């Protein structure tokens, strides 16, 4: 059972081991920091050596690092080697998104790349680590996708399409292993104040002839709560889903979008 300490919820993940993909930027960084503050041990995976080193310095006893692209099979093997025989308690499956394009702007090569960068590696990393979690009868996996899986976003046809496939396999697997103690859930963010959103505003500016700053302003005006999301708030929900407290939630896609998705079950 979780309990409060110093006005914060104790997620009871102290000394638990987590993989954090994309750990030096945006959502990944915010979630890595939240897990560290809760006393967890993380294996931070990212391509930027300098940023990884800085994260390591911030909590040397709690941060282990793997430099590389987590979508690559060799990097996933390196992560497995770092874990060794230790129990892996949870995993944040997270990496950057594809370029912003309309359907007619895409090539077949774009679709092949999107398959590799959005879907294939997530199947690989899930197949790599779920068996060990099942053996231990415990595990928490959170995938960061997009609110586009519930309501398509303009200029993001690659993301709109391939992320739905991730939702399909995660939902199916969650049913297949529901009694194992391993849960799998998806967070579907809308517009948040992270570097990744700039590609959307830049694309809109390119199409309309306005500045990226004006595109950003227009985008924010369309969000019902009237602002971009904060990565730190998003991280608090992700960390809870990665904790023992979330054991009765699995196979869910939870939208975090300031009210942008208009459907009843958004």
- Digit-by-digit pLDDT tens for the chain (266 residues) are 555 444 457 899 999 999 999 999 999 999 999 999 999 999 999 999 999 999 999 999 999 999 999 999 999 999 999 999 999 999 999 998 899 999 999 999 999 999 999 999 999 999 999 999 999 999 999 999 999 999 999 999 999 999 999 999 999 999 999 999 999 999 999 989 887 778 778 878 888 888 888 888 888 888 999 999 999 999 999 999 999 999 999 999 999 999 999 999 88
Can you point out the beta strands (E) in the chain?
3-5, 8-10, 17-21, 41-46, 63-67, 90-93, 139-144, 182-189, 253-256
116 lies in a domain? yes
Shared-domain flag, residues 159 and 197: no
Shared-domain flag, residues 167 and 61: yes
Shared-domain flag, residues 136 and 63: yes
Domain of 40, in residue numbers? 3-190+230-255
The C-alpha atoms of residue 165 and residue 163 are separated, in whole angstroms, by: 5
60 lies in a domain? yes
Shared-domain flag, residues 134 and 196: no
265 lies in a domain? no
Global pTM reads: 0.92
Shared-domain flag, residues 185 and 205: no
262 lies in a domain? no
Shared-domain flag, residues 31 and 99: yes
| C-alpha torsion sign, points 17, 21, 24, 27 | negative
90 lies in a domain? yes
Burial of 238 from C-beta contacts in 10 A (0-12 / 13-18 / 19+): buried
Shared-domain flag, residues 70 and 196: no
Shared-domain flag, residues 96 and 202: no
261 lies in a domain? no
Reduced to 3 states (helix: H, G, I; strand: E, B; else coil), residue 259 is coil
Q: Looking at residue 236, which CATH number applies to its domain?
A: 3.40.50.720
């Amino acid at each position: 059972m979780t309990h409060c300490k110093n006005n914060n919820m104790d997620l009871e993940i102290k000394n638990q081991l987590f993989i954090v993909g994309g750990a030096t930027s945006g959502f990944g960084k915010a979630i890595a920091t939240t897990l560290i503050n809760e006393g967890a041990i993380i294996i931070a995976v990212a391509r930027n050596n300098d940023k990884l080193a800085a994260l390591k310095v911030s909590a040397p006893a709690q941060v282990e690092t793997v430099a590389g692209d987590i979508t690559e099979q060799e990097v996933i093997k390196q992560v497995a080697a770092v874990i060794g025989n230790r129990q892996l308690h949870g995993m944040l499956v997270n990496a950057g998104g594809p370029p912003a394009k309309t359907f007619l702007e895409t090539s077949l090569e774009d679709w092949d790349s999107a398959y590799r960068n959005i879907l294939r590696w997530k199947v690989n990393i899930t197949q790599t680590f779920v068996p060990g979690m099942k053996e231990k009868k415990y595990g928490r996996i959170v995938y960061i996708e997009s609110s586009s899986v519930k309501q398509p976003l303009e200029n993001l046809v690659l993301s709109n399409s391939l992320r739905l496939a991730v939702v399909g396999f995660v939902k199916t697997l969650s049913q297949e292993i529901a009694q194992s103690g391993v849960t799998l859930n998806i967070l579907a963010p809308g517009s948040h104040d992270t570097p990744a959103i700039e590609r959307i505003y830049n694309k809109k500016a390119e199409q309309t002839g306005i500045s990226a700053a004006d595109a950003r302003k227009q985008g924010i005006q369309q969000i019902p709560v009237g602002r971009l999301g904060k990565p730190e708030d998003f991280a608090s929900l992700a960390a809870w889903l990665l904790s023992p407290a979330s054991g009765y939630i699995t196979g869910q896609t939870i939208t975090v979008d300031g009210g942008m998705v208009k459907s009843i079950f958004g």
